[in-house]
Amino acid sequence: MALWPRSGGEPEYQGRTVSSWFRRYCASTRSARWPDDARHQEAQRALEAIGTNAVPYLLDQLFSTRRNTVLQTKLQPVWDELLGPLGLPPLLAANLAHEGAAEALLALKPPATLLLQPATNAFAGTNQFRHWAGCWLLGCIGPGAEQATPWLAQGWRSTVAWEVYLAALSTQRLGPAARGVVPDIINLLSQTNPPVEFGLLKQICQALGSIGAQAAPAIPILKQRFASQTNLTLRVAIADALGRIDATESAALAAVLEEMRPEANASNRQSDIRALLALGPRAKAAEPLLLEWLADPSDQVWVDAASALQQLGTRNEPMLPLLISKLKAKHNAKLKVADQYGLYCAASAVARADPGNAEAIAVLIDIVKSASGWCPNAIQDLAQLGPAAKAAIPALREARASRQVWLRKAAAKALKQIEAPPRPAL
Q: What CATH number has the domain bearing residue 387? A: 1.25.10
Q: Does 337 share its domain with 389?
A: yes
- Residue 223, domain member (yes or no): yes
Furthest C-alpha separation in the chain? 68
- Residue 267, domain member (yes or no): no
Q: Does 96 share its domain with 13?
A: yes
pLDDT of residue 392: 94
Q: What is the mean pLDDT of the chain?
A: 87
- Residue 300, domain member (yes or no): no
Q: Does 364 share its domain with 401?
A: yes
Packing angle of the helix pair 405-418, 393-400 (nearest 10 deg): 150
What number is the average pLDDT over the span 311-326? 90
At residue 8, does pLDDT exceed 60? no
Q: Does 248 share its domain with 146?
A: yes
Q: How many CA atoms within 13 Å lie on the side-chain side of 351?
A: 27
CA distances from 209 to 198, 233, 304 (A): 17, 16, 25
Percent of the chain with pLDDT over 90: 58
Reference 351, options 302, 305, 384, 392; nearest CA is 384
Last residue of some domain: 108, 133, 155? Answer: 108
Calculate the dihedral angle through the C-alpha atoms of 330, 336, 339, 345, rounding to the nearest 10 degrees. Answer: 40
Interval 236-290: pLDDT, tens: 999 999 999 999 999 999 999 998 888 777 788 888 898 888 888 888 899 999 9
- Residue 308, domain member (yes or no): no
* Spatial CB neighbours of 20, under 8 Å, sequence gap ≥ 6: 7, 89
Q: Omega before 143 cis (within 30°)?
A: no
- Residue 389, domain member (yes or no): yes
Q: Contact, 231 vs 218, CB < 8 A? A: no
Cβ-based burial of 88 (10 A; exposed 0-12, middle 13-18, buried ≥19): exposed
Q: Contact, 352 vs 362, CB < 8 A? A: no
Q: Does 346 share its domain with 415?
A: yes
- Residue 347, domain member (yes or no): yes
Reference 56, options 108, 124, 96, 4; nearest CA is 108
CA distances from 243 to 212, 234, 276 (A): 9, 14, 13
At residue 349, does pLDDT exceed 70? yes
pLDDT of residue 3: 37
Q: Does 123 share its domain with 249?
A: yes
* Better-scored residue on pLDDT, 85 or 64: 64
At residue 296, does pLDDT exceed 70? yes
Cβ-based burial of 192 (10 A; exposed 0-12, middle 13-18, buried ≥19): exposed
Q: Does 244 share its domain with 376?
A: no
- Residue 294, domain member (yes or no): no
Q: H-type helices in 195-265, by residue range?
A: 198-211, 219-228, 232-245, 251-260
Last residue of some domain: 108, 140, 158? Answer: 108
At residue 86, does pLDDT exceed 60? no
Residue 6's pLDDT band (cuts 50, 70, 90):
very low
What number is the average pLDDT over the span 359-380? 90
What number is the average pLDDT over the span 19-31? 83
Cβ-based burial of 420 (10 A; exposed 0-12, middle 13-18, buried ≥19): exposed
At residue 4, does pLDDT exceed 50? no
Domain span including residue 250: 118-259
pLDDT of residue 76: 53
Q: Does 128 share its domain with 239?
A: yes
| pTM for this predicted structure | 0.76
Q: Contact, 272 vs 305, CB < 8 A? A: no
Q: Does 141 share its domain with 221?
A: yes
Q: Does 127 share its domain with 88?
A: no
- Residue 285, domain member (yes or no): no
**pLDDT-wise least confident of 17-26, 228-237, 260-269, 389-398:** 260-269
Last residue of some domain: 244, 259, 274? Answer: 259
Q: Does 34 share its domain with 166?
A: no
At residue 5, does pLDDT exceed 50? no
Output the domain CATH number for residue 172. Answer: 1.25.10.10
Read off φ and ψ for residue 202, nearest 5 degrees: -65, -40
The count of structural domains within the chain is 3
pLDDT of residue 72: 54
Give the integer Cα–Cα distance in Å for 251 and 239.
8
Q: Does 92 share its domain with 50?
A: yes
